[in-house]
Chain A
Amino acid sequence: MNSIVLLIVLPLVFAFLIPIFKGLGKYASKIVTILSMLTGMGFAVYFFITLQVPVKAILGGWKPPFGIVLVGDKLSLLFVMIIYILAFLNLFFFDNNFKEHSKFYTLYNIAIAGTAGMILTGDIFNMFVFIEITGIALYSLIAYSGKEQALKGSIKYLIIGSMTSLFLLLGVTLAYHILGSLNLAHISSKFYQIPNNLKFLILSLIFTSFFVEAEIFPFNMWVPNAYKGANIPIAALLAGIVSIAAGYLLFRFRYLYGGMRSFGNMLVWFGVITVVIGEFSAYFTYDLRKILAFSSIGQMGLILIAAGISNDLSVYGGFFQILSHSIAKMLLFLLAGFIIYEAGTENVKKMGGFGKNHPYLTGIFLIGALSLAGIPGLMGFWGKFNIVGGGIAAGRILPISIVLLAAIAESVYLIRVVFHLFKTDEGKIIEKKKIPLGYLMVVILLSLTIVVIGVYPQLLNQVLNDATKIIMNSGSYIRMVLG
């Protein structure tokens, strides 16, 4: 079955249809993009629901391990489906500084194709190519607003991103030189033959590139600039969609580092440093966009810790965390667009009065913020709960306790934002503005998802258990791809 190729090809086709159709009218490129995301979403949902056994798409007739293979199993198709759904919802953004232009939609489609490719591919050189495709689209998208901060973030991201993807390439070449294969399944079936030091070197080289996409210390200095300067839909794309693909790769490569306790330890400690840096930087700033950016860093650090612990419970929690972080962060960025427009400022301290104008919208912001902070009853709680449980089961008390301390700082600064929104300043009145209907519906849909899954986490139980089994059991993956 070769049709999962469509999930990568469709947005690419639509991307290059946009320059042709853009002359038809003001909204032509937006309509093409909506169509692209809807068809992609339809195919992804269809493939995911009808999936009985994992499928692979062999490209060009070269059987694995020789050629490129795309792998669609319960895990990768789930993630691609969620990427398409979020990418579609993200199109209902609100940003008054945004200049409608067909270039934006072309790059948006390319970025989605790249992230879908990163998830579906079973070939590590192909993964490098998809990381570069996503990267190049993102560098241009971040610089799209033309602000100084955006250009700064874009240049930093470009230099760090290209440097680390060259390291990834070196790691891939070393693996190829030693094992004679570029296929992830084939490599992981023979990876035990390599001496431990060399394994560590190859994995470190490969993971530098994942660290950039996943906003992990020390490769995350581009994050505050990029989130501060980029337009709202692009910040939401980075926080909500690219982080899914990056988190997925961190877990998928458990096939290679699964048995290595030293490498897992390193991941855990990098994650802890990232969490601490992210949460405390967010605590000391009053810039709404930067708060969300630093909180993103902190959440991704937690995902890395889950990947480093890598027992059943933490992998399950890690997937839950990836999903809940994406949904909540996308919701908060969508809301931030409207808040910044109405308040006319990005300074949290000057936003008083917004809560009075729009109490329901502020309530929805509170739901997203509390879910990020991990308050019981909301979606974000279950991810953190399972990761902490997995950490305790693995006997890593110290990293887990540091993370819990950082979570306190996180809830303080997120609730502080809501407090400032409700506060009323004397003498300063914010003019009330009308909320677009489509935007409002997307925001309500996302917040309902957070609440419903928070109350009934068993809705995701089946799906995420299947995903966890795929990650924990590399044998069946290897048999499926090579057999």
Chain B
Amino acid sequence: MFWLFLIGSIGLVLIGIFGLITRSHLIKLLLSLNILETGINLTMIVLGYQNGGKVPIIHSLLDLTKPINFVDPLPQALVLTSIVIGLGTTALALILIVNYYYKTGKLSLERSENEKENIDE
């Protein structure tokens, strides 16, 4: 279970990196970024995961007397922060891309063939 989880999330990371390297369409780049982010968030969860682990909440003092197999809660808190940051970045990126599209009519950052280097834009 642990390994399946880990391989799956690393796979998502690799798909994201592949997309970021090979695509030039801006929306596809953003999608790749989001896949990469999901992959990394899942990797963080996996690293805190315990097989058969419990929720890290102490219900009674009896729980403290015997060793318990808790899932590490800290990576989950970190992932929450990371998800929120990712949401903000994605929204900002979409706004920028829309503005760029209105300005240039393009959805790619590559310079077109007949565009000459003009210093005074």
- Are A and B genuine complex partners? yes
Distance, CA A163 to CA B44, complexed state (A): 16
List the B side residues contacting A347 at CB < 8 Å: 119-120
Given known contacts A151-B103, A173-B75, A345-B120, is B109 in contact with A132 (CB within 8 Å)?
A: no
A162–B33 contact, CB under 8 A? yes
**B69 at interface, CB cutoff 8 A:** no
With A125-B81, A154-B96 known, 7 other A-B pairs at CB within 8 A are A148-B100, A152-B100, A163-B33, A166-B36, A173-B44, A174-B47, A176-B75
Closest to B39 in A: A166
What are 18 A-B pairs at a CB distance below 8 A? Answer: A139-B96, A143-B96, A146-B99, A147-B121, A151-B96, A151-B100, A158-B89, A158-B92, A159-B20, A159-B29, A162-B37, A163-B36, A166-B37, A166-B82, A169-B40, A345-B119, A345-B120, A346-B119
Of the candidates B75, B81, B88, B103, the one whose C-beta lies within 8 Å of that of A136 is B88
Chain A 126-162 interface residues, beta-carbon cutoff 8 Å to B: 129, 132, 136, 139-140, 143, 146-149, 151-152, 154-156, 158-159, 162
Q: Which residues of A contact B104 (CB under 8 A)?
A: 148
Instruction: Among A147, A162, A173, A182, point to the contact of B89 (Cβ < 8 A).
Output: A162
A155 touches B97 (CB 8 A): yes
B26 contacts the other chain (CB 8 A): yes
Contact A173 B47 (CB under 8 A): yes
Q: Does A177 contact B (CB under 8 A)?
A: yes
Chain A residues within 8 Å of B89, by CB? 132, 136, 158, 162
Q: For B44, what are the chain A residues with a Cβ–Cβ distance below 8 Å?
A: 169-170, 173
Interface residue tally for chain A (C-beta within 8 Å): 33
State which of A159, A169, A345, A346 has its C-beta within 8 Å of the C-beta of B93: A159
Q: Which of A132, A140, A347 has the most CB of B within 10 A?
A: A132
- Binary contact track A154-190/B, C-beta < 8 Å → 1, others 0: 1110110011001001100110110000100000000
Cα distance A174–B103 in the bound complex, in angstroms? 42
What is the size, in residues, of chain B's interface with A at 8 Å between Cβ atoms? Answer: 34
B85 within 8 A of A: yes
Which chain B residues lie closer than 8 Å to A143 at the CB level? 96, 99
Which residue of A170, A182, A346 has the most chain B CB atoms within 10 A of its CB atom? A170
By a CB distance below 8 angstroms, the chain B residues around A155 are 26, 93, 96-97, 100, 109
Which A residues are in CB contact (< 8 Å) with B26? 155
User: Does A341 have its Cβ within 8 Å of any Cβ on chain B?
Assistant: no
Interface positions, chain B 1-50, Cβ under 8 Å from A, are 13, 20, 26, 29-30, 33, 36-37, 40, 43-44, 47-48
- Whether B68 sits at the interface, judged by CB under 8 Å, is no
Q: A-contacting residues of B (Cβ < 8 Å)?
A: 13, 20, 26, 29-30, 33, 36-37, 40, 43-44, 47-48, 74-75, 78, 81-82, 85-86, 88-89, 92-93, 96-97, 99-100, 103-104, 109, 119-121
Listed in ascending order, the chain A residues whose CB lies under 8 Å from chain B are: 125, 129, 132, 136, 139-140, 143, 146-149, 151-152, 154-156, 158-159, 162-163, 166, 169-170, 173-174, 176-177, 182, 286-287, 345-347
Task: Return chain A residues, CB-CB under 8 Å to B99.
Answer: 143, 146, 151
- B92 near A286 with CB under 8 A, answer no
Cβ contact within 8 Å between B119 and A129: no
**Shortest Cβ distance from residue B11 to the other chain A in the assembled complex, whole angstroms:** 14
A140 touches B92 (CB 8 A): yes
Check if A159 sits within 8 Å of B92, measured CB to CB. Answer: no
**Given A143-B96, A173-B75 in contact, is the A287-B119 Cβ separation under 8 Å?**
yes
Cα A176 to Cα B29 in complex, Å, equals: 29
A177 — which chain B residues lie within 8 A by C-beta?
Answer: 47-48
Residues in A with CB closer than 8 Å to B33 are 159, 162-163
